[in-house]
């Protein structure tokens, strides 16, 4: 599946919500706080997060990344939650063990 503007907006929203609010302790960073930190209108940020902003420029995305104190590349991770190499290896080992065990069990029953 191709990466879409909704994916971009969802990733930005997830990062924003993982940051603490500067004005309301214990709450996630608000759109208006991020918009102010990035120097963009709150409506612009809202539309980007909803995937409605047709062509967000690199300058706008760079400002948002600066407001979130992250790298712009963090916005472009796939929605399939990129797994680390360790998670992939562990998953493959588990699959192999399960397959070997099933083969052994089915061999005994024949």
- pLDDT tens for the chain, residues 1 to 110: 567 888 899 999 999 999 999 888 889 999 999 999 999 999 999 999 998 888 889 999 999 999 999 989 888 875 444 456 666 677 778 888 888 888 888 876 54
Same domain, 74 and 43: yes
Question: With b meaning 16 or more CB within 10 Å and e meaning fewer, what string describes 69-86?
Answer: ebeeeebeeeeeeeeeee
Which residue range forms the structural domain that includes residue 62? 1-79
Q: Are residues 87 and 50 both part of a single domain?
A: no
In this structure, are 94 and 54 located in the same domain?
Answer: no
SS3 99: helix
89 and 72 assigned to the same domain: no
66 & 27 share domain: yes
Global confidence as pTM: 0.68
Domain count, the chain: 2
DSSP characters over 53-81:
-S---HHHHHHHHHHHTS-GGGGG--TT-
């Amino acid at each position: 599946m191709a990466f879409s503007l909704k994916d971009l907006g969802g990733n930005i929203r997830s990062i924003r919500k993982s940051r603490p609010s500067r004005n309301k302790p214990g709450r996630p960073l608000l759109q208006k706080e991020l918009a102010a930190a990035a120097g963009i209108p709150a409506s612009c940020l809202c539309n980007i997060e909803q995937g409605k902003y047709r062509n967000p420029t690199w300058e706008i995305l760079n400002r948002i990344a600066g407001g979130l104190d992250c790298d712009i590349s963090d916005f472009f991770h796939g929605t399939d939650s990129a797994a680390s190499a360790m998670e992939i290896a562990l998953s493959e080992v588990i699959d192999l063990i399960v397959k070997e065990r099933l083969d052994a069990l089915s061999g005994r029953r024949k």
